[in-house]
Structure 1
Amino acid sequence: MNEQIATVFGGTGFLGRRVVRALATAGYRVRVAARHPEDVDFSDIKDQIAPVAVDIRNERRVTEAVSGSVFAVNAVSLYVERGDLTFDTIHVKGAERIARCARAAGVDRLVHISGLGVDEHSPSKFIRARARGEQVVCNAFERATLVRPSVMFGSDDAFLSSLKTATLLPVVPLFGKGNNRLQPVYVEDVAAAVVELARQAGGQGQVFELGGGSVYTYRQVLQVVMSHLGRRRVLLPVPFTLWRLLVATLSLMPNPPLTRDQLVLMQSDNMVGENAKTFADLGIDPYSLEDLLDECLPTNSG
């Protein structure tokens, strides 16, 4: 195809940098739009990318980033509020700004990365902001495609890394009884889905829920990880009442290892809905967590 420009906001993030590489491989010239685009080494695809320093709170910078693009992705994420970086600033106002500027610039397709379980009535500020973000994006760019991945895993993720650390303990605490269900999704599969949405018009104005090939309880995920690492540990159910007390104490720390919003996420299932559009609608067969543990969680790395 003739070279076309795609802009990836959050192009240096865990998902964003995979999307950049996947789009470049598909033949796009990719603008890596991030506050610090030099943070990731893209030297192997340098002829296909253009780093652009963008803070999504700056309308002029956002407008410049999408100018001339046929496709844009908002993969910007914020999981812990710090100073003036709030969930509302990034996931609502920033998301609306990207969508509005993309539409004004004549961008043909916009993919907005959200997450499973969005709920405007959730007790979690993060989840509420994600839900409002979807609403304002669709109001500003009515043909936007919403992509809701489950918890993502990969070779340098936070998910598996945190489980590996947790299983160093002789007794591993569970959230409640550990029966909440998860559908972990491989980050490269999500990136592949974004490229498919860039290629085809059928996904415009649609919502895609992306989960991995298998569903696990949290307890089962821990057991799979421990088996892979060759560790035997006691799994201890801990009531959410105690977790809430712990989180209240941890919140006094500058960088708490567990936040109230993360705890809320662990109290409910994180799975693809029965009637949702999924990987299957994009012709992608997603990996399961167990398929890739050797690659994503090497046993010789400590």
Structure 2
Amino acid sequence: MDHLHQRLVTVFGGSGFVGTQVVQTLARRGYRVRVAVRRPDLAGHLKPLGAVGQIQPIQANVRNMASIQRAVAGADFVINLVGIGYEGGKQRFGVVHVEGAAAVARAAKAAGATSLVHMSALGADAQSESNYASSKGAGEAAVMEAFPQAIIMRPSIVFGRGDGFFNLMGTLARWLPVMPLIGGQSNFQPAYVGDVAEAFVLAAESKVKTGRTYELGGPEVLTHKALLELVLRETLRTRPLFAMPTWMANIVAFKFSLLPFPPLLTADQIKLLAHDNKVSDEARSQKRTFAAFGIAPTSMETILPSYMWRFRRNGQFDRPEERQNSLAE
């Protein structure tokens, strides 16, 4: 940490699943980290990831330009991880993914930041029928217009302890008699959160070509059906897969939207599940993948057993080999 207290990195949305890993990676490299979040009082878990005073959560909202400008003041690098999976209240896709992203890019440029790394998502496309994907695509264009040398990162589903996908599927496997399957033949390429965080930091350090878009996917491409089967194997659960028709899924999503808590499924997510979510052939041929960062992506089988045991009937006391032996008998 020989350069501790010299270079400053501002991370917007740094208290979430991916953000926590990015902040920890930056701290290990000795950077001072300013974490810009809406609720600094809920970001206290970040401070122990670095030395005393190295990580400082501050209040900022991508809907408020003055708070953005305060957050980027004096920053060498800016990383924007802010995103929402569903709309609610003032948190709208266009406001957060397009207007907010553009505001961060403009403020970073005006503040003299030498690099900007923006988190998008695989499948981002301004012409997509999904409001989420179309807003992500429009956000990319807005960021590049304001900060032409920005780096756009498009990760697939990100997995790791505390992720939103496999933990949700594990919970469903524990509580439901069947596993609902929507868009079962769509392909996904989950990426490990540690690899994604490493790539973001290397991008901030301009270790790859700037003004480009990078697609981050893991070593395995599996269908949605295969991912659910993997969840069942890891949780040692036996559940039939129920191929849910789109019309039925939309009814379920509508009912979720009426409940007073975050929905498990939205109509927009149903549209996303119908399309592949994997690294494009073009990105692979141009080496705009983990390969550009010199990262060999980590497989799911290496990481999933370290936390999916929580969804087994007897937790860590259930062993996969014991289950296999009992089935053989």
**TM-score, L = length of structure 1:** 0.95
1:6 is paired with a residue whose SS is strand
With over 3 angstroms needed to count, the CA separation of the structure-2 counterparts of 1:70 and 1:43, relative to structure 1, is closer
Question: Quick one: distance in 1 between partners of 2:275 and 2:104?
Answer: 30
Correspondence for 1:289: 300
**Which has the larger share of helix?**
2
1:203 aligned onto 2:209: yes
1:24, distance to aligned residue in structure 2 (A): 1.1
Contact 1:196–1:282 under 8 Å retained in 2: yes
Contact 1:214 1:288 in 2 (8 A): yes
Aligned to 1:256: 263
Match in the other structure for 1:150: 156
The one-letter amino acid paired with 1:295 is S
Tell me, yes or no, if the aligned pair for 2:144 and 2:150 is still in contact at 8 Å. yes
Shift of residue 301, structure 1, vs aligned partner: 7.1
Q: What is the deviation of 1:47? A: 2.9
What is the aligned partner in structure 2 of residue 274 from structure 1?
A: 281
Q: Of 223, 231, 242, which residue of structure 2 is paired with 1:236?
A: 242
- 1:11 is aligned to 14
Work out whether 1:43 is the aligned partner of 2:38. Answer: no
Structure-to-structure mapping, 1:83-232, within 5 angstroms: 83-168=89-174, 169-176=176-183, 178-232=184-238
**1:24 is matched by which residue type in structure 2?**
A
Paired position in structure 2 for 1:81: 87
The answer to whether the Cα contact below 8 Å between 1:18 and 1:188 also exists between their aligned partners in 2 is yes
AA aligned opposite 2:276:
D
Runs of 4+ in 1 over 3 A off after TM superposition: none
C-alpha distance in structure 1 between counterparts of 2:221 and 2:90, whole Å: 37
| Deviation (angstroms), 1:248 | 3.0
Distance 2:47 2:142 in 1: 36
Gaps of 5+ in 2: 318-329
Is the contact made by 2:207 and 2:293 (CA closer than 8 Å) also made in structure 1?
Answer: no
Pairing of 1:17-28 with structure 2 (within 5 A): 17-28=20-31
Contact 1:8 1:32 in 2 (8 A): yes
| C-alpha contact 1:11 1:37 (8 A) present in aligned 2 | no
| Unaligned runs of at least 5 residues, structure 1 | none
CA contact (8 A) 2:186 2:224 kept: yes
Residues 10, 35 of structure 2: 8 Å contact kept: yes
Amino acid at match of 1:266: L
Q: CA deviation at 1:212?
A: 1.1
Q: Distance in 1 between matches of 2:316 and 2:31?
A: 35
Letter in 1 for 2:19: G
Matches of 1:142 and 1:301 in 2, distance apart?
Answer: 49
User: Would you say the 8 A contact 1:224–1:290 is kept in 2?
Assistant: no
Q: Which range is displaced more, 31-40 or 197-206? A: 197-206
Q: CA deviation at 1:37?
A: 2.3
Alignment coverage as a number of residue pairs: 301
Q: What secondary structure does 1:281 align onto?
A: helix
Asked if 1 retains the 8 angstrom alpha-carbon contact of 2:190 and 2:217, the reply is yes
Taking every aligned residue pair, what percent have the same amino acid on both sides?
40
Q: Is the 8 A contact 2:208 2:293 kept in 1?
A: no
Distance in 2 separating the partners of 1:186 and 1:201:
20
Q: 1-side partners of 2:253 and 2:316: how far apart?
A: 30
- Residues in 1 aligned to 2:101 and 2:165: alpha-carbon distance in whole angstroms: 25
Q: Is the contact between residue 26 and residue 195 of structure 1 (CA under 8 Å) also seen in structure 2?
A: no
Alpha-carbon separation, structure 2, partners of 1:148 and 1:134: 10
The code of the aligned residue for 2:178 comes to V
Alignment RMSD: 1.6
Q: Counterpart amino acid of 1:5?
A: L
Kept after mapping to 2: 8 A contact 1:180/1:268: yes
* Worse-superposed segment, 196-205 or 13-22: 196-205
1:90-145 residue CA offsets vs partner (Å, 9 max, x unmatched): 11111000000000111000000000001112222111111111010000001110
Deviation at 1:201, TM superposition (A): 4.7
